[in-house]
Structure 1
């Protein structure tokens, strides 16, 4: 029996820069300045979120809140129920390239020489990274909080923009130190990890706003980072063809992973596997604890543009197709989509796979629902989105 498959047009001919599956919504953002919200069941356009004055390059969502970042240098907070923009945060002086909503979770921290469990951060945060070489940390506004919309515009100078941020009651920290664009960002608990074109990775404390470590070793630009605070390590991928695994308690490099022959633009982490994807058309599967190389996934004809992985499978997109792999033995299970020009983004939740792609010079979103009888779609149980505490 074939999986259920629907396809619908999205964003005309513009590139889809971001794709999220959240709270039974498909959220796509584009360089056409817009954000669209669709039903994954029917493909119906629920909202078109308009207001950004530049391409949208970063989004994250939780419950009925969406946060977006743009080349217009602003961070915007949207109500997904109504489609309204509730807040506009200014402060960055160049493109907001990445952002993360950091939800409170219980982690172990050292207090007075002892390890204790705390729920951090104490309330949800937004962390944004920019081509202006800096990061900013904001409290995520609650639904009942007062709206704040900055007055900065494209004519404002950097001093005015900085002053605007300082006057914002939701602004917490301005994280400075990178000497190049912040290209990659990962956050968890009270920790943020940023990767930069200055060849370094920095580890930040989101409670104090201080830089804990400057991780050096990469010889070229850093394009991707991932983080696991419970195991105290981070990983980064670089234009120098390597992946580095770092101990964030000591700032030391634990492993240098060498298997790629080109830019490592994407990395991901699950309990048992670290996966890296590169412009050399391959993906590599590693043991994150030992650094052992486990599998090379080879079969694409171009750079890997997006991927998803869990403990059982890898889904990867490149020129012409979207492929499904068994992560444990490296076997290519099937081509999920073929006859396409390119896949820009992919998102997976349970047995639902969503891909943003280019067909015949037009942009579309494909939703594929695998049933229980589709044994080739190996799936681990997924919990519904947790109701995080403020």
Structure 2
């Protein structure tokens, strides 16, 4: 994504006045989950509403995509598996007794021991009921066989492989790779699990308040946690020891990402920080005057983060503020970008919008760059907006 290019700015209404809790972006579509119980799919080029996935009886809190399969978790305590191409709900997995807070789709990968784990694709779910559940991701050949009974139940036992117990409060975040799951809970602990056995390998204790976010760096055999105690901790997966406690944030650390060789944290103090995970030092502070950082994404060149009124971009290596992408907002809920586009779910004047900034428009000779184009559900421009 060319951060200096003039973008084509497309905007469209989504989910009425409801909060967008989940956002997925790929080359041809945008998927949004909301507390209005629905999942919407939009054409990334035109903004046209293509499908509405309906079936959950509560707000959608988690979504993951694998090819044509979409997996969602809800406050209705269920996990639904959908065909993206048809919009059909193929399975309803039940078992959690409270909100499904987070999900992961885990594909076979080579572990540090040289083994390929897991043996088949899995779904990991975590809930306010303090448990994690490990499910087999249904094979494509299984999917057309689903028929819901009158209560909407699926024969979940065919796919449920294990229930992981040990946490004493809501599980707020999970990360997984190979045979390892890391979970952070409001019980002030992080647990490292071995998927193949369902056993706790390490119970990581050190934070003094609730956990909000975890990240896993499987290559360096480390995991990272962020807490309401304002700190970030780096842990050794092999020994369970705390390697570093990262200080600097002055409020709740709610978001972490460890990828592209960078560890980045975001907090309610209005800042993002980049850290050196090898010695625990702070490399860069991305200052943002305003409210809590509500969402961000980074790659090896840039960080894009949102708070209450704006969405901004920084150079991840120098900390230089590159540009303000969106302004005059009343809320920023989600952001995702790829090599061409940046997509954000925001609130303007108490209405929910999806804003698409296409930085490849000039290269493709597209017109109307530099102005905000508001379109309806059919992708047609609404005059006067």
Which residue of the partner structure matches residue 216 of structure 2?
A: 227
2:50 to 46, 51, 54: 46
**CA–CA distance in structure 2, aligned partners of residues 84 and 342 of structure 1:** 32
**CA separation of 1:261 and 1:198: change in aligned 2, threshold 3 A:** same
**Match 2:193 to one of 192, 204, 209:** 204
Indicate how the Cα distance of structure 1 residues 56 and 371 shifts in structure 2: closer, same or farther if over 3 A, else same: same
User: TM-score normalized by structure 1?
Assistant: 0.88
* Contact kept in structure 2, 1:148 and 1:168, CA below 8 Å: no
**How far did 1:107 drift?**
2.5
Name the structure 2 match of 1:56.
60
CA distance in 2: counterparts of 1:361 and 1:372, whole angstroms: 29
Distance, in Å, in 2 between the alignment partners of 1:59 and 1:177 is: 24
- CA distance in structure 1 between the partners assigned to 2:149 and 2:256 by the alignment: 37
Query: How many positions carry a matched residue from both structures?
Result: 358
Work out whether 1:136 is the aligned partner of 2:125: no
The TM-score normalised by the length of structure 2 is 0.89
Structure 2 residue matching 1:108: 3-state secondary structure: coil
Give the distance between the partners of 1:256 and 1:373, measured in 2 at CA: 45
The residue aligned with 2:377 is none
Is 1:88–1:149's contact at 8 Å kept on the other side of the alignment? no
Q: Deviations over 1:37-76 (max 9, x none)?
A: 1111111111100000000000000110000000000000
* Counterpart in the other structure of 1:74: 78
Tell me by how many angstroms 1:133 deviates: 0.5
1:281 and 2:278 aligned: no
Could you list the runs of 5+ residues in structure 1 that have no partner in the other structure? 110-116, 155-160, 375-390
Query: Which residue matches 2:12?
Result: 8
Q: Deviation at 1:153?
A: 6.6
- 2:287 paired residue number: 298
Structure 2 Cα separation of the partners of residues 105 and 20 of structure 1 = 23
- Equivalence map 1:145-156=2 (5 Å): 145=142, 147=145
Distance in 1 separating the partners of 2:361 and 2:247: 38
Q: Deviations over 1:210-251 (max 9, x none)?
A: 111110001000000000112101000000000000111111
Quickly say closer, same or farther: Cα 1:148–1:290, change in 2 above 3 A.
farther
Residues 300, 319 of structure 1: 8 Å contact kept = no
CA distance in 2 between partners of 1:212 and 1:229 (Å): 15
Q: Is the 8 A contact 1:38 1:45 kept in 2?
A: yes
- Report the aligned-residue RMSD: 1.9
Identify the structure with bigger relative contact order (alpha carbons < 8 Å, sequence gap 6+): 2
- Structure 1 residues 22 and 371, CA gap change in structure 2 (3 angstroms): closer
Q: Deviations over 1:342-386 (max 9, x none)?
A: 110001111211100001111010111113989xxxxxxxxxxxx
* Aligned-partner SS, 1:168: helix
